[in-house]
Amino acid sequence: MRKKIVAGNWKMNLGLDEAMNLASELKVKIDNQLDTGEAGVGGELPEVIFFPPYVYLSRMLDIFHNYEGVGVGAQNVHHNEHGAHTGEVSALMLRSLGANYSLVGHSERRQQFGEDDELLAAKIATALKNGIKPVYCCGEQLPERESDKHFQVVEDQLKRGLFWLDETQLKNVIIAYEPVWAIGTGRTATPDQAQEMHAHIRKLIMEKYSAEAAENMSILYGGSCNAKNAAELFAQPDVDGGLIGGASLKSDDFFRIIQSF
């Protein structure tokens, strides 16, 4: 059965004290939940993954060291293992620190840093080679949705960025569908829009790989997902959880999202 996942992308937010307070508050909530055995609305506990800024990774890994059901990852990873790349961080470094995941292809990286699918494919290759599981982000921009190109845009991103992997490699990948028009805008995709795209992604995986690969792939929704709308989104059959930006910065809100299954 595929994993349910709630991931928090802190982006470039929070000072060290704020970040550590947020992490400690969430750890207490998750500890309590595990102690009482009280899961979410549908009785399921998702895996939780934190994506803090690089500089806090080590501290987060100390807090959640060997903590089952909680992963820690980077928001980005370089496509080379090492070398003269001032300011960059490699998958080899992330793994040596104990991190398990990295976001790859977040729309802010695509838009602000010109990362294209070819580069993202190289990042995925290096991440997987070094034991880092990529969370590959895809999603259309508003004009693309308005001109009915959204399915094709996401299909192209998947084909170029991901579908060159073999099926064994694909097992270590998570997909996040994040319509760009919904990220940080307060304009969430409707549950039907999310479901429709997630089902499309799953169908593409089935056609390229197998029914088993499609069934086992965790596909997260991201884009203004919050404590109020998470349950309805997560109730969709092909939505396996969320990649949460703004609402992951408040412990109460993020914890309510964790409990939304």
| Catalytically active residues, by annotation | 106, 178
Rounded to a whole number of angstroms, the minimum distance from the CB of residue 158 to ligand PEP is 17
Rounded to a whole number of angstroms, the minimum distance from the CB of residue 256 to ligand PEP is 14
Among 46, 73, 241, 246, binds ligand PEP (CB under 6 A): 246
Q: Does residue 75 bind ligand PEP (CB under 6 A)?
A: no
Query: Cβ-closest residue to ligand PEP?
Result: 245
Among 91, 92, 165, 225, binds ligand PEP (CB under 6 A): 225
Rounded to a whole number of angstroms, the minimum distance from the CB of residue 254 to ligand PEP is 10
Residues 25-40: b if buried by 16+ CB within 10 A, e if exposed: ebeebbeebeeeeeeb
Among 40, 71, 134, 245, binds ligand PEP (CB under 6 A): 245
Tokens of 36: 């009482």
Binding to ligand PEP, residues 178-207 (CB under 6 A): 178, 183-184
Instruction: Name the segment binding ligand PEP (CB under 6 A); options: 25-33, 143-151, 210-218, 223-231.
Output: 223-231
Rounded to a whole number of angstroms, the minimum distance from the CB of residue 107 to ligand PEP is 8
Could you tell me how many residues of this chain bind ligand PEP (CB under 6 A)? 13
Long-range contacts of residues 61-68, Cβ cutoff 8 Å, at least 24 apart: 61/97, 61/98, 61/99, 63/20, 63/23, 63/24, 63/27, 64/23, 64/27, 65/98, 67/27
Rounded to a whole number of angstroms, the minimum distance from the CB of residue 244 to ligand PEP is 5
Pick the closer one to ligand PEP by CB: 224 or 236: 224
Which distant-in-sequence residues (6+ apart) come within 8 Å of 249 by Cβ? 8, 10, 13, 14, 22
Pick the closer one to ligand PEP by CB: 181 or 261: 181
Residue 151 φ then ψ, to 5°: -65, -40
Which distant-in-sequence residues (6+ apart) come within 8 Å of 136 by Cβ? 104, 105, 120, 124, 158, 161, 162, 173, 174, 175, 176
Q: How many CA atoms lie within 13 A of 230 on its CB side?
A: 29
Q: Does residue 9 bind ligand PEP (CB under 6 A)?
A: yes
Residue ranges binding ligand PEP (CB under 6 A): 9, 178, 183-184, 222-225, 243-247
